């Protein structure tokens, strides 16, 4: 599934090296529960991941939903979001700078 427009909020203005953060909700299907999806965001893409919430439904065990805050440079965040897209994960919501008050 395509990720909505990749808007991130910046704290400085130095091209691709500016620090950014974005909030996303990502749905991870049961077949990927044994894969280190979130760990790879950190180790392969260098982003800091803050897990704000996790929802695992007993009634619908086919997936888990994670509310994540991703922090890093613009290029790190974009690469991390591309990785989630390549896994065909559903990103349900992505914050915009206006929503986060930046």
Per domain, the residue ranges of the chain are: 11-100
pTM: 0.73
For residue 3, the model assigns a pLDDT of 44
Instruction: Please give the class, per CATH, of domain 11-100.
Output: alpha beta
For residue 84, the model assigns a pLDDT of 95
**Is the pLDDT assigned to residue 2 strictly greater than 60?**
no
Spatial neighbors of 61 by CB under 8 A, at least 6 apart, are: 30
**Which of 87, 60, 99, 43 minimizes the C-alpha distance to 5?**
99
Q: Do 20 and 77 meet the contact criterion of CB atoms below 8 Å apart? A: yes
Angle (nearest 5°) at CA 89 between 84 and 90: 115
pLDDT tens, 32-90? 888 999 999 999 999 999 999 998 877 767 888 999 999 999 999 999 999 999 999 99
């Amino acid at each position: 599934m395509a990720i909505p427009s990749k808007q991130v909020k910046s704290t400085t203005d130095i091209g691709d090296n500016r620090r950014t953060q974005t909030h996303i909700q990502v749905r991870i299907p049961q077949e990927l529960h044994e894969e280190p999806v979130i760990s790879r965001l950190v180790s392969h893409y260098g982003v800091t991941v803050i897990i704000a919430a996790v929802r695992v439904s007993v009634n619908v065990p086919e997936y888990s939903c994670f509310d994540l805050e991703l922090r890093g440079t613009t290029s790190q965040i974009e690469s991390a979001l591309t990785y989630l897209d390549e896994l065909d994960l559903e990103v349900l919501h992505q914050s915009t700078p206006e929503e986060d008050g930046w």
